[in-house]
């Protein structure tokens, strides 16, 4: 694996780990909350990038795996007092299994049809969970505070959730990089450019696409498990929120589609912008409008995103940043 001797990957992961450790060392609770959210968005955007950026399949309803993972893990922790880490891992595997089952039929669809199908699956799952009594139906489920006692109280449970989210974010980035540099990644990108040509060159598109889909479903499920563990409550609306799915798409586009660093930059910039807009009184009521305008500008004029643009303009950036 020559990819693992990269001069880009390790410094990047090291930098992120360092940033992640910052609020733990200084004990800054509000900063920790901010970073928690950003790491979650990095996971969503980065995992989406694997199927959308590398393979060119726009999964509009990718949030379905986040919601599903959240529900499976929450249910395990709620009914069997399963430990967070075990429950999250189980949720990830369930999400991947579902992606494997639905992947083969829906990945046959191309372009707009695939995008619509993923929206349909998310909405179907949301309305199904709303009616599914073991998962609490429309009201969802919520923890008794005593659940956190097993983790040494609510405070250290929050600490654990933060560390877990940071680790999953690092794992997602690592996976994203390794895929991009592997033969498998090349196969995906060949499919993105021209599926028929890829097939002629010996790529099995159906198989490669399902593999990418299964991998990209795993990480959002972990993020969902950790997020809803920390919230202590899960409801169908917030779990399967289509808007969040589209926000993840925006982050990928903003940072640079198909790049490893893009989704990270996109998630951080988007979240920073969103919170700045919301907390600035003069702008708070227009934050959606400004977000829309920004998206339009990116889509119309900077299609490659921030990282893509820099890579395009500067040779030095292109040499180091993936």
Partner 1 sequence: MEALIASSVDGLMLGFVYGLAAMGLTLIFGVMKVINLAHGPIIALGMFVILTLTKSFGLNPYVALLVAVAAGLASGIVIYWVAVRRVIDAPELTTLLATFSVNLMIIGVGTTVFTTSPRAVDVDLGALRMGAVTILGTKALAVLIAASVAVALYAFLFRTRSGKSIRAVANNRTAAELMGIDSSRFLALSFGIGTMLAMTAGGLLATLFSFTILSGGTYETKSFVIVVLGGLGNPTGALLGGVILGLLEGVSTMFIPVSWVPVLEYAIFVLILLVRPNGLLGARR
Binding residues for partner 1, rule: CB under 8 A, are 52, 56, 58, 60, 105-106, 108-109, 111-113, 115-117, 119-121, 123-124, 127-128, 130-131, 138, 246, 249-250, 253, 257, 285-293, 295-296, 299-300, 303
Phi, psi of 286 (to 5 degrees): -105, 15
Per the document, the length of the chain is 322
- Minimum distance of partner 1 from residue 249's CB (angstroms): 7
Cα angle value 275/277/282 (rounded, 5°): 140
Cα angle value 179/255/292 (rounded, 5°): 135
- Minimum distance of partner 1 from residue 127's CB (angstroms): 4
What are the DSSP calls for 263-318, one per residue? HHHHHHHHHHHHHHHHHSHHHHTTHHHHHHHHHHHHHHH-TTHHHHHHHHH-HHHH
Closest to 17 (Cα-Cα) out of 225, 223, 163: 163
Strands (DSSP E) contained in the chain are 141-142, 233-234
d(CA 267, CA 42): 5
- Minimum distance of partner 1 from residue 240's CB (angstroms): 11
- Minimum distance of partner 1 from residue 278's CB (angstroms): 12
- Minimum distance of partner 1 from residue 304's CB (angstroms): 12
d(CA 186, CA 184): 5
Q: Which is nearer to partner 1, 117 or 226 (CB)?
A: 117
Q: Which is nearer to partner 1, 58 or 88 (CB)?
A: 58
Q: Which is nearer to partner 1, 145 or 289 (CB)?
A: 289
Q: Which is nearer to partner 1, 164 or 257 (CB)?
A: 257
Q: Which is nearer to partner 1, 72 or 129 (CB)?
A: 129
Chain CA centroid to CA 222, Å: 9
- Minimum distance of partner 1 from residue 282's CB (angstroms): 12
The sign of the torsion formed by the CA atoms of 276, 282, 288, 289 equals negative
> Could you give the angle at which helices 63-80 and 242-255 cross, rounded to 10 degrees?
130
Integer Rg of the chain from CA: 19
Q: Which is nearer to partner 1, 14 or 111 (CB)?
A: 111
- Minimum distance of partner 1 from residue 38's CB (angstroms): 21
d(CA 285, CA 274): 12
- Minimum distance of partner 1 from residue 46's CB (angstroms): 17
- Minimum distance of partner 1 from residue 212's CB (angstroms): 16
Q: Which is nearer to partner 1, 52 or 169 (CB)?
A: 52
| Paired residues of 141 in beta bridges | 234
Q: Which is nearer to partner 1, 90 or 106 (CB)?
A: 106
Q: Which is nearer to partner 1, 243 or 316 (CB)?
A: 243
Contact between residue 198 and residue 205 where contact means Cβ atoms under 8 Å apart: yes
CB atoms within 10 A of CB 53: 29
152: left (phi over 0), alpha (psi -120 to 50) or beta: left
């Amino acid at each position: 694996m020559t990819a693992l001797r990269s001069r880009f990957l390790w410094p990047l992961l090291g930098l992120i780990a360092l940033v992640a450790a910052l609020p733990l060392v200084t004990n800054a609770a509000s900063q920790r909350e901010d970073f928690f959210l950003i790491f979650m968005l990095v996971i969503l955007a980065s995992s989406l990038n694997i199927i959308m950026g590398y393979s060119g399949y726009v999964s509009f309803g990718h949030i379905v795996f986040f919601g599903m993972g959240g529900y499976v893990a929450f249910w395990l922790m709620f009914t069997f007092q399963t430990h967070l880490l075990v429950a999250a891992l189980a949720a990830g595997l369930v999400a991947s299994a579902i992606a494997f089952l639905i992947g083969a039929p829906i990945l046959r669809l191309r372009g707009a049809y695939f995008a619509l199908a993923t929206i349909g699956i998310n909405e179907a799952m949301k309305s199904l969970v709303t009616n599914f009594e073991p998962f609490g139906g429309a009201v969802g489920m919520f923890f008794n505070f005593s659940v956190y006692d097993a983790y040494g109280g609510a405070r250290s449970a929050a600490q654990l959730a933060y560390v877990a989210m940071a680790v999953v974010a690092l794992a997602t980035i690592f996976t994203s990089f390794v895929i991009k540099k592997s033969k498998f990644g090349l196969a995906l990108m060949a499919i993105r450019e021209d599926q028929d040509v890829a097939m002629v060159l010996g790529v099995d598109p159906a198989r490669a696409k399902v593999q990418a889909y299964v991998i990209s479903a795993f990480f959002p499920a972990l993020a969902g498990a950790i997020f809803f563990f920390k919230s202590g409550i899960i409801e169908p609306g917030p779990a399967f929120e289509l808007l969040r799915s589209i926000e993840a798409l925006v982050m990928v586009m903003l940072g640079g589609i198909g790049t490893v660093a893009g989704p990270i930059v996109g998630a951080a910039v988007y979240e920073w912008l969103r919170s700045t807009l919301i907390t600035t009184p003069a702008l708070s009521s227009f934050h959606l409008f400004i977000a829309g305008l920004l998206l339009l500008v990116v889509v119309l004029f900077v299609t490659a995103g921030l990282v893509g643009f820099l890579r395009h303009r500067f040779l030095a950036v292109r040499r180091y940043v993936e």
